[in-house]
Each structure stands twice: as C-alpha cells, then as structure tokens.
Structure 1
Amino acid sequence: MLTVRDVTFDVLRRHGMTTLFANPGSTEVPLLCGLPDDLSFVLALHEGSVVGMATGVAIATRRPALALLHTTAGLGNAVGAIATARVNRAPLVVIVGQQDRRHLALEPFLTGRLAGLAGDYPVWFDQPPRAQDVPGAIARAWHEAQTWRGPALVVVPMDDWPAEMDPHEVIAAPRQLIRAGRPPELRDTLGTSAAPDMRDVLAIDLHSSADVVPELAALVAEARTPVIVAGSGADSSRTWAALVALAEHLGCPVWQESFGARAGFPQDHALHAGVLPAGRAQQRAALGGHDLVLVVGAAALRHYPYQPGPLVEEGTRIAVVTDDPAEAHRSPADLAVLGPPATVCEGLLAELGVPAEAGRTWRTGERDPGVTGPGPGEPMSARHVLAALAVRLAPDTVVVEETPSSRPDLHRILPARRPLGFVSAAMGGLGFALPAAVGLRMAAPERPMVAVVGDGSAIYGVQALWSAVRYQVGALFVVLANGRYAVMDRLADMHEGGKAPWPSFEEVSLSGLARSFGCPAIRVEDHDHLLAVLDEVVPTLPTRTEPLLLDVAVVPDTVFRP
C-alpha cells in the first residue's frame, strides 16, 4: 500500500518540483526524513529567505517552485515574501505544516490558525479534508499557481504523510493542462522548460476560430471507442454544432453531465445517450467499454452520493475541455484544455478534417414522451404532466426545472431541443426556478418560458411571482404539488434508518399563495382539466405578458430514480 507521502513525491516529480526550499520544524519531519535521492533539499535560515529563493527560481523558469513552511510561525514569517511573490507574479506552491489531525480539536502546541494568515496574497488556499486528498491538492496548487501567477498554499497536518493511500484513490487534478488560444511555443504544458507570464495570455485572442490543440486531436484520433460527456459550459449554438459534428464523425454516444445546470447537447439527437447516473459505480458502468471520455463544458466527473473506487475503468483516458479554470484544475484527467469550448471543439474538428459546415443543423423531431394520461381510477402523476407538456411545447421553449423527485423523468420526457432549452440549479439548493424563469423571460422575451417546479421548491421562490406581475413577465409556472418533499421521503426510504421525522404539508396552497402576490393561478386536479388549460395557454406563450401559475395536484412517485 502506498502512502500519501509516496504519492505526493510522484506528483512533485511529474510537475518538475524536485527542489524543496525550507526552514523546517517538527511538523515537517514526517515528510522530510528519508527524502528520496532524486529530490533536493535547500535549507534557508529564515522563512522569508525560503520563499524569496523559491521566488527567484520561479521568475527564472516561469514555472512553479516549491517552498515548505513550518505552521503558524513559518507562514507568519514568510507573509512579506509571499506578498512579494504575488506582486512579482511568481508562481509558487507553498506547503505549510500543521499539527496532527487527531488532536487538532484540542488546539495542541504548534497548532496553526492558518486560513487567512497570509491575507489575500495567495492565489489559492486549501486545507484538504482528508489525508488522501493531499496529493491532489498539491497537484492542483501547481495549476492554480501557474494559471494565476502567484503563490498557492496547501496546509498538511503532520500525520497525513504516512497515511495509507489506495491505488484507486482519485487525485483531483489533471496530469497535463494546456491553455488553448496560444501558439505552441507559448503553451503552458507539463514538460516545457519555460512558461509565459500573464502578458502572453492577454496578448492572444482566445476566441479565435483557428485555435487547434494537437495534443487533444491526437488523443481523439487514437481512441477506438470514444464517448463524449457534455456539460453546462457547452450550452451554446456554436458548441452544440461542433459537438454534433464531432459525435457524428466519431459515431459515439453523448451523455449529459449529472446535475448539469443546462443541456450541452441536443437531447433529441439520435446519439444522445441520456443523463449520466449520479453514483460513481453507475457512471463507471455507463462509460465502460470506452477508451476515451471527452468531457466538454464540465469538470470530470460529478457524483452524489459518495461511492468508492476509480472514476473510470482501467485503461480509459479522460480529456476535459472547459473555460472554467477551477473545473480544469480539479479534474482527474489525462489532459485538460483550458479555453472556450466552442473554439477548442471547432479547432479539433479542423484538425480531424471534419468539414466546417458539419453539425450546423440537428434533428428536431416530434417529442414522443412514451407516457399517456392516467388510466381509469389512476391518479395523476408528474410523468403525466410532463407528457402533456412535451407534445405541446415548441422546440424553442426554455424549460426551467426545479423538481428533484421528477428530474430524471423530465430529462427523458421533455428533452432540450435548442440551446438554453433546459435550465436548472446545479448547486442543489431550493428557490431557483421561479425567479430564474422571470429573469430569463426578461432577457429573452422571444422565447416561450415554462418553469416546472415542485411545490416544496416553489415555496422557496414564490415571492418572484409579484415581480412577474409587476413587470409583465409572461412565464408559465407549472407546480407539481404533492404536498411533501418527495425526494427526501425516497432518500429516507433508501436509508433504512427508521421513520423520517418531517411531516407532509398538503394544506399549503400554491395557487392561494400566487394570488396573494397578484399572480393569476389555476388549481388543476384532474388530467382532462390539465389538457384543457394547456391547450388554451401554451399557444399564447411566445407573446404572453401576464404570468400564470398552474397548481397541479399529483401523487408522489413511488420509485426514486436518481
């Protein structure tokens, strides 16, 4: 079994940080004793000199250098030098020692209150929550320091170094990161002897359509069974077109990222495989048999709840394309490309020889929800409501979702057919959909706007209806009212830990609340009434200026489908 220390040394070697500048104390002894011969130790007699020497190396090489500081005293002594490194745009990785985790709660001797001690001068600061997260934090610190040109700090308790580390443990950082939009001689890749400063980045137009990343093209060309995972960052007409062309050229399936805030690919396209399941084991199975996972517009990969094991099967490589540095820096990928997804994907198509006009249009067929209305004596469920919407809403309708227990059904029955066709809250907190739908309609008045919201979610954002009325925002709010937090009930059932203590709230009337804010509302309790209302209202959505809330009584789903 490897230790955290062993894996960290491999990270240092991979990133070229083989010289450690330090004035060590007791909290650093478990790291430094028995230092491997291929790593060099340089002693300084004050922490300001430690960081100052590392700063000189970073300025000369334009690559992050490594400094090691001793808890509060060491970091405190080095703050002035850290500030200088930041202003000098010198990339540094600074490891700060800390007392043993096992008695930190008692604040033992040499405990450091380290967060914020260096003020705003670090470009990034992390205290890894587990010992096994330390190697990934140090790898990410390298990327953060190189991207933002300054010192990135990682706090490591002394008992983390000998902790065992499973070989399948995920290191949350890419092995190689490339910043797109820069010519090869300026590219900041691992293994180069010099990297540019921020002026080089600003001098390049990152939105040039001529950007080509040969390293990414080589990965894709070598893959025999690639698969694409499209994320929220791919939700634009240009990126949809590029991904359609790429998927059709490769003949590969395209999954939507789990918990995505928007759709990164037309969900009615024949190659759309669905939304990735949330569990790591289920994701691993869904992506199994593919030798390359190309993630575009998202990090790799998002899960809930926690499951152990590797992200993908052995032998599968991961590449990420994103314009979000945090997504790139935390992705355990073989290659991360930091740049506009549309631009990078267009460059990839050019490198692969795919005609520029490919993918400009995609199939938009009639929605087949696969669900009809309730049978005789059967109560109305969320699926029946979604199916009624599916056959009536125009392809350019923006659907804002906040119905956790019904979200998998919404993805399946009501697929996004245009960019911005699906919008949701990626964070997971409630209260997003109603106000977001109001703002979206204000910003895009030409798009029909429908918010599909659970009653538990709607309660958190119901005040937005007053603004919708006041500012004549003609959105349709469809509330799936089951009188409870259905997703919480299902999670409690799965937990098998006894009866959940929270009650239902069937007495809450969303239509009543809507009217109290001046918003027209209709209570719908049977399927025929629902169809009649939708037939009347949906044709008015493109030009409507008056909001309407439908308070639709549904029974909670009996099966939870995460």
Structure 2
Amino acid sequence: MNVRDATFEVMRRLGVTTIFGNPGSTEVPFLKDLPGDFRFVLGLHEGSVVGIATGYATARDEPSFVNLHTAAGLGNAINAIANARDCRAPLIVVVGQQDRRQLGFEPFLTGRSLERLAGEYPVWSTLPARAQDVPGAIARAYHEAQAAHGPALVVVPMGDWLEEADELAAMAPARVLRPCAVDEHDVARLAELVGDARSPALVVGRGTDSVEGWEAVGGLAEKLRCPVWQEPFVRRAGFAQDHPLFAGHLPWRRRLMHDALSAYDVVLAVGTSAFRLYLFDEPVAVIPPGTRVAVITDDPAEAHRSPCELALVADVPSACRALTRSVAARDSERPEPMRRPPALAPPGESEPLRAGHVLDALSARLPREAVLVEETPSSQPELYRRLAIRAPLGFVGTANGALGAGISGAIGLRMGLPRRPVVAVLG
C-alpha cells in the first residue's frame, strides 16, 4: 500500500469522501484515477473552492476537504481561508508542493514555506517530516479542524503520494470523544451573578445557532423574561428573530452599543464575545458603568478577549440549560419586542426599485426553513430590520467583511443541505 492509498483509507474512516479543489500538476499524483467512492468538486478559482468547502462544512458541521495547488493556489485562497477561520468552519486544507527529492534546487512550482504562507489563519499547519507521515497528518488535521472550528493545513510534496506507506508511522486517533455535560455546580457563580440582576439581557451569536442552542437560549430567556440581542456583524443567527423576546441587532458603533447596554445591569453574552466593534468613532466605553458582563462560550480565545467579569468555557447549550435550572424565574413584565418597519409601498413607474422593496418581497416569500446567505454590506441594516430568521442555520453572514464568499458559500450550503432552500443576497 502506498501513501495515497493509506490516505484514502483514513479519509474513508473519517467520512471525508468529497474533495473540493482547483488542481495543478502538483496534485495529479493524488487525484489521478480517483477511487469511485470519492467525489471531486472542481472550482475555477481557489477563493471559490474554499468558499464552497466552507459552506459545505457549515451545513454538515464537520470538516470538509480542500486540495490547493502549491503557492499560487494557496495564495489565491488565503482570504477565503481567513473567512473560514472567522466563520469557525472546519476545513482540511491539503496543499501540493514540489517533489521533496529536489526541493533544495527550488524547481518550477516550488512553494516557499507553504506551511507558514497563510500566517495565523490556519488553526494548525504542518509539513510532514517524511512521506509516510502524510496519512497521520491528515487524520490529525481533521481532529484539529473539528476541535478548533477552523482550517487545518497540511503541505504534501507531490512525490509523497506514491511512496510506500509505513504501518508503524504515527497516526491520529480514529475517533475523539468530547463530553459536554455541564451541571449546576459548574454554573454556580454565573447563576449568582445573573440571579442578582434587576434588568438582565442576553446577547447571542454563532455559538447558539443549532436546534439545541435555540431551545436552550429560549428557555433561559423565558425564565429570566429578558430581551435577547443578536451580536453585531451577524455570522449566524443565535435565536429566533420572530420570538417576542428578540430585541434586535446590537449596534456596532461604540456610542450606540454603550447606550443600548446601559439599560441593563447584567449582560450575558452567549456563544459570542458580543462586543464586536468596527470604527473607533467615539472615545466612549463600550460597557457602561454599573453594567456587569458575563460570557458563555465554547471558544477559549473568545472568552479571553471578552471584557467581562466572568467567562465560562463550556458546551454552550449544556451551560444554558444548567443555568436555567439554577436561577429563579423572574415575574417582571415582558420587554417590548423588536419593532419592524412597515412594508414599503410599491415604487411608481418613474421611481427606482430600492433595497427595501426587494427585501420586503423576499420577506413575504422566504420559507421558514430557508437559509439566507448575506453579503450585502450596503443594505445590511435594512436586511436586519426587514427579514426575521425563523429556523436554526437560517442565516450565514460573511465573517471577515471581504467580498466573494457569499455565492460560493451558498453553493456549499446547498450541497450540504439539499432539502433546504438557500437564498444568497449579494450586492
């Protein structure tokens, strides 16, 4: 058995049999005579390839496999890899390289330090020490991508694939189990902070965007009778936006965010760092004096950068359920729900069709189970006001602000969710 065959066995075991790529000659030894149980999806630009793979990984909540062509392919893909990292989409990115037997001469298509070319955007990267270590490196990349929710990168010289495999080569675990139970003891300090609140609020994000997450956040919000805000620069909808406790989208401007948060004495950010800003438009503190902040997240980095009094790193739905069991029900009046604008009157014959007209028409026709892909920065505030996301994984936004991920991401989402309508709003 050669390294290529051993790698295919690893991929089968992991359930990774779809390959996205725009290959060149450094990828031919891997892709030639691809086994019949594998599927290859061709894209004509690496940004599109990684974008489709990002959508596919998001839809399936498991790593997808990308094959890129040495320095040129990886270079073209870096923006999309950065977006995948910010979207927390798990990817296995395998990059071709010249044959290691002649790398010292820097022949045509040599990539310099490919394992470092994408900077800090991969959650893990490696150039295996020898050809026989490639299958184990790809298995590890799967687990690294899954654990860190981001792209893991493996550089493979083209001659490695046909080398004889080594049964004694180091391999990664066949399966990694991550228990996620959280009990009342784990949330005791958090329950004390939230239980003392007179006017609490929740801010949700990507980390609660699942059926389990929506139910857990909804149960907590109902017990606290508190408003639920969506994080700024929405990547994923963390709560039902037609729920009467949905308050709207937290502003990204410093003053507006400060003013919105000043109504609450305790703010609990769930599945997000919550305070994602943009322009330093005014030198004002984001968190008002007297407002206490706590965070629940499964991402240690998100916890570490959050300006909060207490952060709990745990499985988010489990933590929300434990917190719900630990706090007393509040009997205060329900907060006012978000007020959406009335539909615009149709434009006259000589009047332009505006974004609001299109979004009103889309809102009236969009099925509840549809997935909305948003890449429309100029109309984003209008979209937030006029469209309510009503099902988990019903919204996917461009995480890093760079254009190009919308249409490719929508293709990948549709491939991964063939029974759900996918609508991309671009422009």
Output the TM-score relative to the length of structure 1. Answer: 0.41
CA–CA separation in structure 2 for the residues paired with 1:300 and 1:225? 18
Matches within 5 A, 1:86-485: 205-207=179-181, 212-306=186-280, 307-352=282-327, 370-454=343-427
CA–CA separation in structure 2 for the residues paired with 1:346 and 1:372? 44
CA–CA separation in structure 2 for the residues paired with 1:240 and 1:209? 19
2:21 is aligned to none
Whether the aligned pair in 2 keeps the contact of 1:369 and 1:390 (CA below 8 Å) is no
Whether the aligned pair in 1 keeps the contact of 2:223 and 2:328 (CA below 8 Å) is no
The secondary structure found in structure 2 opposite 1:228 is: strand
The secondary structure found in structure 1 opposite 2:365 is: coil
1:313 positional shift = 1.3
CA–CA separation in structure 2 for the residues paired with 1:300 and 1:414? 21
For residues 270-310 of structure 1, what are the alpha-carbon distances to aligned partners after superposition, in whole Å with 9 as ceiling and x for unaligned? Answer: 11111111111110101112100110111141111013222
For residues 138-194 of structure 1, what are the alpha-carbon distances to aligned partners after superposition, in whole Å with 9 as ceiling and x for unaligned? Answer: xxxxxxxxxx9xxxxxxxxxxxxxxxxxxxxxxxxxxxxxxxxxxxxxxxxxxxxxx
1:511 is aligned to none
1:319 positional shift = 0.4
Matches within 5 A, 1:506-521: none
Whether the aligned pair in 1 keeps the contact of 2:298 and 2:315 (CA below 8 Å) is yes
CA–CA separation in structure 2 for the residues paired with 1:266 and 1:348? 20
Whether the aligned pair in 2 keeps the contact of 1:300 and 1:333 (CA below 8 Å) is no
CA–CA separation in structure 2 for the residues paired with 1:296 and 1:277? 17
Higher relative contact order (CA 8 A, sep 6+): 2
Whether the aligned pair in 2 keeps the contact of 1:211 and 1:343 (CA below 8 Å) is no
Whether the aligned pair in 2 keeps the contact of 1:401 and 1:422 (CA below 8 Å) is yes
Whether the aligned pair in 2 keeps the contact of 1:296 and 1:320 (CA below 8 Å) is yes
1:372 positional shift = 3.6
1:373 positional shift = 2.1
Whether the aligned pair in 2 keeps the contact of 1:212 and 1:351 (CA below 8 Å) is no
Give unpaired runs (5+ residues) of structure 1.
Answer: 1-115, 124-147, 149-201, 355-366, 455-562
The secondary structure found in structure 1 opposite 2:419 is: coil
CA–CA separation in structure 1 for the residues paired with 2:372 and 2:398? 12
CA–CA separation in structure 2 for the residues paired with 1:447 and 1:353? 38
2:336 is aligned to none
CA–CA separation in structure 2 for the residues paired with 1:435 and 1:422? 15
CA–CA separation in structure 1 for the residues paired with 2:240 and 2:177? 35
1:376 positional shift = 4.6
The secondary structure found in structure 2 opposite 1:394 is: coil
From the superposition, tell whether residues 250 and 265 of structure 1 become closer, same or farther in structure 2 (CA, over 3 Å). same
From the superposition, tell whether residues 339 and 376 of structure 1 become closer, same or farther in structure 2 (CA, over 3 Å). same
1:421 positional shift = 0.9
CA–CA separation in structure 1 for the residues paired with 2:185 and 2:406? 36
Amino acid at match of 1:280: R
Amino acid at match of 1:235: D
From the superposition, tell whether residues 437 and 255 of structure 1 become closer, same or farther in structure 2 (CA, over 3 Å). same
Whether the aligned pair in 2 keeps the contact of 1:372 and 1:387 (CA below 8 Å) is no
The secondary structure found in structure 2 opposite 1:229 is: strand
Please, what is the CA RMSD of the aligned residues?
2.6
1:210 positional shift = 7.0
CA–CA separation in structure 2 for the residues paired with 1:210 and 1:370? 46
Structure 1 consecutive aligned stretches of length 4 or more whose deviation exceeds 3 Å: 207-212
Amino acid at match of 2:194: V
CA–CA separation in structure 2 for the residues paired with 1:220 and 1:453? 40
Output the TM-score relative to the length of structure 2. Answer: 0.54
Larger Rg: 1
From the superposition, tell whether residues 332 and 380 of structure 1 become closer, same or farther in structure 2 (CA, over 3 Å). same
CA–CA separation in structure 2 for the residues paired with 1:254 and 1:391? 24
Whether the aligned pair in 1 keeps the contact of 2:232 and 2:274 (CA below 8 Å) is no
The secondary structure found in structure 2 opposite 1:423 is: strand
CA–CA separation in structure 2 for the residues paired with 1:440 and 1:209? 34
The secondary structure found in structure 2 opposite 1:401 is: strand
CA–CA separation in structure 1 for the residues paired with 2:342 and 2:235? 22
CA–CA separation in structure 1 for the residues paired with 2:407 and 2:177? 42
What is the aligned residue count? Answer: 246
For residues 350-385 of structure 1, what are the alpha-carbon distances to aligned partners after superposition, in whole Å with 9 as ceiling and x for unaligned? Answer: 11267xxxxxxxxxxxx9863342235321011111
Amino acid at match of 1:450: V
1:532 is aligned to none
CA–CA separation in structure 2 for the residues paired with 1:208 and 1:294? 17
From the superposition, tell whether residues 379 and 251 of structure 1 become closer, same or farther in structure 2 (CA, over 3 Å). same
The secondary structure found in structure 2 opposite 1:241 is: helix
Whether the aligned pair in 2 keeps the contact of 1:227 and 1:253 (CA below 8 Å) is yes
The secondary structure found in structure 1 opposite 2:240 is: coil
CA–CA separation in structure 2 for the residues paired with 1:443 and 1:226? 37
From the superposition, tell whether residues 386 and 317 of structure 1 become closer, same or farther in structure 2 (CA, over 3 Å). same
Whether the aligned pair in 2 keeps the contact of 1:230 and 1:296 (CA below 8 Å) is yes
For residues 83-111 of structure 1, what are the alpha-carbon distances to aligned partners after superposition, in whole Å with 9 as ceiling and x for unaligned? Answer: xxxxxxxxxxxxxxxxxxxxxxxxxxxxx
Amino acid at match of 1:251: R
The secondary structure found in structure 1 opposite 2:284 is: coil
CA–CA separation in structure 2 for the residues paired with 1:400 and 1:451? 4
CA–CA separation in structure 1 for the residues paired with 2:423 and 2:220? 31
1:244 positional shift = 1.3
1:13 is aligned to none
For residues 330-369 of structure 1, what are the alpha-carbon distances to aligned partners after superposition, in whole Å with 9 as ceiling and x for unaligned? Answer: 1110001101111110111111267xxxxxxxxxxxx986
Q: What percent identity do the matched residue pairs reach?
A: 49
